[in-house]
Amino acid sequence: MKPDPMPNPSTDATALPLFSLQDVEKSFALDGGRRQLRALDGIRLTVQPGESIALVGESGSGKSTLVRVMLGLEDASNGRVFFGASELSQFDRAQRQRFAREVAYIYQDARGSLNPRMTVAELLAEPVRLHGLRERAEIPGRVDELLAMVGLPADVRGKVPSELSGGQVRRVAVARALACEPRVIVADESVAGLDVSVQAQLLNLLRDLQREQGLAMVFVTHDLGVAAYLCERVAVMYLGRIVELGRTREVLARPLHPYTQGLMRAFPRFDAPLTVSLRGEIPSAANLPAGCRFRSRCDRAQPDCAQEDPTQRLVGDDRYLACLHPLEAPTPTH
């Protein structure tokens, strides 16, 4: 089964996506190169200006590796990653500097990502100064704007990260990302491990900022409930492949892949812990099963699932699927 063709950003000048990933693979050598761990396999994904998309899946599904490839922190082993019309691997120094400003990253360990010796004011002023976004005399005022934007009082200006609560540290991390005036914010499990009420506050903050400022957002999470609240589209990942992709409401209302359905059963609410495990154990990415990589955990597996590894294909209006025997017949494409 061949995947559907995707437009090449270098030749399609209309409505360019911010990110376009074409059959991206990422492998890591094991045992001195005798084995390969396939962390990403045939990833096909676009991120449009102003849209929000969630990357969802269990630990080991490849979400964080995908983000690192999108950010240029890891080189793809195969395939192409475009930002706008330019291929990421071909960026010159000026393009990389611009990319560093336009794509902001909020780390999962927000406290660890902040210099413990710098005050909040210094942390927020640094990216403004480095990218030359304000005159020197205007920077203190910009710091105040950023603090107000994320709902922090002005008196935190002189505090260092160790003096802040977990929720305050996450807000500083968001403000630091906004200081670059980016076009895209990439957030890796940015609300994980917080009290439910603080988590809800941060989700509200991220959603409001994304909509008010027209930012694109790529949000990494293991929780479909968080994806439903925050993001317009969702990409469900399993063992390095996107197995289902589409508008979040449609995917959650009518999942087509058995793995998506399994995740929904495991995470019925965004504020609930994992209560039901998916059947079986996730295979190793260094020893993928023959055929469909989900078949060993799927109650719908058929003999042909052991023979063919389904790739991502268009099955409806902005709906993609990698499954030989979906939960229901996909809507025909026109």
Tokens standing for residue 159: 């505090």
For residues 10 and 85, the answer to whether their CB atoms sit within 8 Å is yes
Q: Which of the four pLDDT bands, split at 50, 70 and 90, describes residue 267?
A: low
| Residues 6 or more apart in contact with residue 163 via CB below 8 angstroms | none
pTM: 0.87
Buried b (16+ CB within 10 A) or exposed e, 38-47: bbbbbbbbbb
**Domain 19-261 indexed as CATH 3.40.50.300:** yes
- Is it the case that residue 98 has pLDDT exceeding 80? yes
Q: How much of the chain, in percent, has pLDDT values that exceed 90?
A: 62
Cβ contact 303:319 at 8 Å? no
Q: Is the confidence at residue 71, as pLDDT, over 50?
A: yes
CA separation for the pair 167, 122 (Å, rounded) = 19
- Residue 242 burial (C-beta neighbours within 10 Å; 0-12, 13-18, 19+): buried
Query: Could you tell me if 116 and 161 are in contact, meaning their C-beta atoms sit under 8 angstroms apart?
Result: yes
Phi, psi of 23 (to 5 degrees): 50, 50
Identity of the amino acid at 249? R
Contact 57, 238 (CB under 8 A): yes
Q: Per-residue pLDDT tens for 165-216?
A: 988 998 999 999 999 999 999 998 776 666 777 778 888 888 888 888 899 9
CB atoms within 10 A of CB 300: 15
Question: What is the domain partition of the chain in residue ranges?
Answer: 19-261
Compute the Cα dihedral for 69, 72, 73, 77 and give only its sign.
positive
Tens-digit pLDDT profile for residues 133-177: 999 999 999 999 999 999 999 999 999 999 999 889 989 999 999
Q: Is 46 helix (H, G, I), strand (E, B) or coil?
A: strand
pLDDT of residue 212: 87
The span from the CA of 19 to the CA of 84, in Å, is 6
Find the helix or strand (DSSP H, E) in which 103 lies: strand 103-106
Q: What's the DSSP call for residue 243? A: E
- For residue 43, the surrounding DSSP H or E stretch is strand 35-47
